[in-house]
Amino acid sequence: MPRIFLSPPHMGTDEAAFVTEAFDTNWVAPVGPHVDAFEAEFAEYVGAKHAVALSSGTAALHLALRDHGIGPGDKVLVSDLTFCASVNPILYEGGTPVFVDSERESWNVDPNLVEDAFRARASGGNQFKAFVPVHLYGQTVDMDPIVSLCEQYGVTIIEDAAEALGATYKGKSPGIFGRAGIFSFNGNKIITTSGGGMLVTDRSETAQHVKKMATQARDQAPHYEHSEIGFNYRLSNLLAGVGRGQLRVLDERVDARRAVFDAYVDALGDLPGVEFMPEAPWGRNTRWLTCLTLQPDAFGATPEEVRLALEAVNAEARPVWKPMHLQPIYKDYEFIGGDVSSDLFARGLCLPSGSSMSPADIARVVDTVASTHHAIA
């Protein structure tokens, strides 16, 4: 049986032609017409004034934090339930992450806990210099309360929208609610350039500064003059060509992922102990990954037993992200919250969710998941 991957790349029809064009015109460099066009097309898609194409989502978050001046002693509030790349760049700059728990309604940060965290520090405490809300698994954070709290307490928002390209919050794209937002085109994301990222912002100073830092921070001069530390973080013109093709099919990819989710819900949603990740009322979830939680007593199997059963039929499932406050590298940092993120981790599972899944692929997953229930119950 061919392997069913969790979230494999799914090329459209124009990517190869764009790459060929880059070859034909010899723009095989981290600069060129596809980079410019990809940025313009992406900015228009998400509704931001500027977009800067970078080598990864991690690089984009790093430069967003650096542009904002995060440094030693600065506290940055960040979602607890996420991938480590939401947090590592805070440490690159010597900042101190503080983790905040999820709410069950969206699996994203709980605005009530954010308010508690801000209020506790408002009276002479060390207020957060930034907040990095993460839009998880294709679902947007409830941004309205977050935006007003951050305005009230003077905390800058930098959104990690790496998993939520194509999603909406009250009709708008994530990534455009704060000083900057970041996206990822890693191989497993909803669209991919094999690897790549994008920073979006309405601030022209931020866009200019990020572009400069991403290209070794060269000053305006005929020779090589440098007055700040730079990085080599620009996206290749070849990969930007892939990105342009992928952006054209993004909306189709969202529809396809949502159809995969719907097929899973139709087939498995009534089994005892199965609960799918909710779709929050404020937006459209792309269902980048179909996630569910199991009540092992009611279902008759643990998430790990289901994962192994899928592995046995060559289908790739994964646990939900392990919360940052439980990670060995981050266990000594402050965590605000309770047991929501740890419970979602303990009982959660992400099913194969690719937009190119066939009905037979979905049936293989569904039958296997259902069989773990019948075998044990």
Ligand X SMILES: *Cc1c(COP(=O)(O)O)cnc(C)c1O
Residues carrying an active site annotation: 189
Q: How far is the CB of 3 from ligand X (least distance, A)?
A: 21
Among 186, 217, 190, CA closest to 85: 186
Instruction: Decide if 9 contacts 321 (C-beta within 8 A).
Output: no
Kindly write out the interface string for residues 193-212 of this chain, putting x where it contacts ligand X by CB under 6 A and - elsewhere: ----x---------------
Member of 7, 58, 106, 368 binding ligand X (CB under 6 A): 58
Of 38 and 299, the one with the shorter C-beta distance to ligand X is: 38
Of 4 and 162, the one with the shorter C-beta distance to ligand X is: 162
Return the DSSP state at 234: B
d(CA 245, CA 19): 9
Of 43 and 162, the one with the shorter C-beta distance to ligand X is: 162
CB atoms within 10 A of CB 292: 26
Q: How far is the CB of 375 from ligand X (least distance, A)?
A: 33
Of 145 and 187, the one with the shorter C-beta distance to ligand X is: 187
Member of 46, 50, 53, 56 binding ligand X (CB under 6 A): 56
Q: Which residue has its beta carbon closest to ligand X?
A: 57
Number of chain residues interacting with ligand X (CB under 6 A): 14
Of 186 and 285, the one with the shorter C-beta distance to ligand X is: 186
Q: Is 78 helix (H, G, I), strand (E, B) or coil?
A: strand
Q: How far is the CB of 2 from ligand X (least distance, A)?
A: 25
d(CA 89, CA 52): 18
Member of 108, 186, 193, 236 binding ligand X (CB under 6 A): 186
Q: Name the amino acid, one letter, at 176.
A: I
H-run or E-run covering 77? strand 75-79
Member of 19, 46, 63, 85 binding ligand X (CB under 6 A): 85
Stretch that binds ligand X, among 40-48, 148-156, 159-167, 309-317 (CB under 6 A): 159-167
Q: Name the amino acid, one letter, at 48.
A: A
d(CA 346, CA 327): 14
Given phi > 0 = left and psi -120 to 50 = alpha, else beta, which region is 26? left
Member of 184, 192, 341, 353 binding ligand X (CB under 6 A): 184
Residue 7 within binding range of ligand X, rule CB under 6 A: no
Residue labelled with tokens 């080598």: 55
Q: How far is the CB of 312 from ligand X (least distance, A)?
A: 27
H-run or E-run covering 42? helix 33-46
Kindly write out the interface string for residues 86-125 of this chain, putting x where it contacts ligand X by CB under 6 A and - elsewhere: x---------------------------------------
Member of 9, 32, 57, 174 binding ligand X (CB under 6 A): 57
Of 100 and 301, the one with the shorter C-beta distance to ligand X is: 100
d(CA 295, CA 168): 30
Q: How far is the CB of 189 from ligand X (least distance, A)?
A: 6
Of 134 and 349, the one with the shorter C-beta distance to ligand X is: 134
Stretch that binds ligand X, among 39-47, 50-58, 219-227, 276-284 (CB under 6 A): 50-58
Among 254, 290, 272, CA closest to 365: 290
d(CA 38, CA 30): 13
Q: What spatial distance separates the first Cα and last Cα of the chain, rounded to whole Å?
A: 27
Stretch that binds ligand X, among 34-42, 78-86, 169-177, 359-367 (CB under 6 A): 78-86
Residue 186 burial (CB < 10 Å; 0-12/13-18/19+)? Answer: buried
CA distances from 366 to 177, 226, 254, 361, 370 (A): 38, 57, 21, 9, 6
Binding site for ligand X (CB under 6 A): 56-58, 82-83, 85-86, 134, 160, 162-163, 184, 186, 197
